[in-house]
Amino acid sequence: MTVDRRSFLAHGIRLAAVAAAAPVVPLARGAAFDTSTDPIAAARDEARWAPIRACYAPSTRFTNVESGYYSPASAPVLDALEHDQRRINALASWYMRREKEGEHEAVRHELARFMQVDAEEVALVRNTTEALNTVLLGLDLDVGDEIVACEQEYGSMLQVLDQRARRDGVVPIVIEQPPLDDDVDAIVAHYAAALTPRTRVLLVSHIYYLTGRILPVAAIAAMARARGVFVVCDGAHAFAHLDLRPGSLGVDAYAASLHKWLGAPLGNGVLWIRKPHIASIWPLFADADVDVRDIRKFEHYGTHPCANVHGIRTALEFHEAIGGAFKEQRLRYLKDCWAKPLQGEPRLRFNVPLTEAGSCALANVAVEDMTGREASAALLERHGVFTVGVRSGVRIAPNLWLTPSDLEPLLEGLRELARERR
């Protein structure tokens, strides 16, 4: 099933809204969700976001401004998941043997449509970790071949490179991040300077996970691919956060977790690999029954909760009912609500450009003389605001269940820490 129509109605969004041709998305209470309006103006219209906020039931124990690890699924997604769990549980092995494949393929096609890529290049996996391990461990590389990555890449991906170095003699080249501004040429030049004739692979995040910095991935990829380098993009934080389709990035492979900004059920990821490369990448789990050129060879991870996979379709419908551009601008606005007023604070340092090109919802701020953990703990203890302390500062990731007034304790808390004498 794609979505339980009643659950959308019950939670304020009509399924009809998903019809791509409809210029106006009707919401409950007779309000019109007019997608022809300016997304920047719409981001500030609280009435417009109220029915969407009503699709979330965040814990009242704290204000959740840490949606970077895992973003809760919306009520329509949860309803569909529960429905599918019961349906599949009733059918059990029958479902696995006779119905699973068709539904799995339908999800693959929906996801490919959304990503603007060929469905035969899309593997449904469990998370970014699995997707990136598949590529980084699956590429045939020789002793001395180099893989370039920035030190801001996700920690366990740098560990994958380290394992390949110890096991196969591949050489990881880990570079510093480019200077903190939006000069695309300078950023591309920074990455280009790390490439040598031995470079075979470049791993680049679309958004650095610790700080929220957005990278000009398309420009970096164009430069590297022109030199014959295989470019793999970690899209964990960009997917359904930025209104940008992975197919437009011009990379060779792309990985994302769908339980982050898309709000799909926990345990969903995607791996996209350009067709000509599929045959030459080894799967993590052997599957001799599938042709070596078939993307499905990357999906042999054993029996798994299929209802979760179907939840991807509902999450895509929910996302598209809101509109990717509208969601991105709302997320930017929520970041601006707390970050912009703090920009002049002398004891605060933003570890991310607060520009349109430099960041969206995810950001990182450091308080002078405090570790990220200390500042994050103080925000929770004194203001009930849940963030995460990372090595460079406090990582802050608001999401659709929040209003600007929900973010006031965060703003006040950071201001208080910045002005405190230590």
Ligand X SMILES: Cc1ncc(COP(=O)(O)O)c(C=O)c1O
Minimum CB distance to ligand X, residue 127 (Å): 3
CB of 150 to ligand X, least distance (A): 11
Query: In the complex, what is the shortest distance from the CB of residue 161 to ligand X, in angstroms, rounded to a whole number?
Result: 13
Please, which residue, 50 or 266, has the CB nearer to ligand X?
266
Instruction: Give me the helix-helix angle, 324-339 and 306-322, nearest 10°.
Output: 80
Q: Decide whether 114 or 209 has the Cβ nearer to ligand X.
A: 209
Indicate the residue among 17 and 256 with the shorter CB distance to ligand X. Answer: 256
Tokens of 68: 């970077």
Structural tokens at position 155: 């920690």
Name which of 209 and 326 has its Cβ closer to ligand X. 209
Q: Please, which residue, 7 or 257, has the CB nearer to ligand X? A: 257
CB 352 within 8 A of CB 359: yes
- Where do contacts with ligand X occur on this chain (CB under 6 A)? 69, 127-129, 154, 205, 209, 234, 236-237, 257
Shortest gap between Cβ of 105 and ligand X (angstroms)? Answer: 23
Q: Which is nearer to ligand X, 37 or 129 (CB)?
A: 129
Closest CA to 361 of 214, 220, 258: 214
Least distance in angstroms from the C-beta of 205 to ligand X: 5
CB of 152 to ligand X, least distance (A): 9
How many degrees, rounded to 5, is the angle at CA 199 between CA 195 and CA 201? 105
* Minimal distance, residue 418 CB to ligand X, in Å: 27
User: Looking at beta carbons only, is 48 or 126 nearer to ligand X?
Assistant: 126
Q: Min. distance of Cβ 68 from ligand X in angstroms?
A: 6
13 vs 232 by CB, closer to ligand X: 232
Tell me the C-alpha distance between 116 and 112, whole Å.
Answer: 6
Closest to ligand X by CB, 273 vs 348, is 273
Least gap, CB of 178 to ligand X (angstroms): 17
* Closer to ligand X by Cβ: residue 33 or 239: 239
Q: How far apart are CA 253 and CA 339, in angstroms?
A: 33
CB of residue 390 to ligand X, shortest distance in Å: 11
- In whole angstroms, the minimum distance from the beta carbon of 154 to ligand X comes to 3
Of 79 and 328, nearer to ligand X (C-beta) is: 328
Residue 316: how many other CB atoms lie within 10 Å: 25
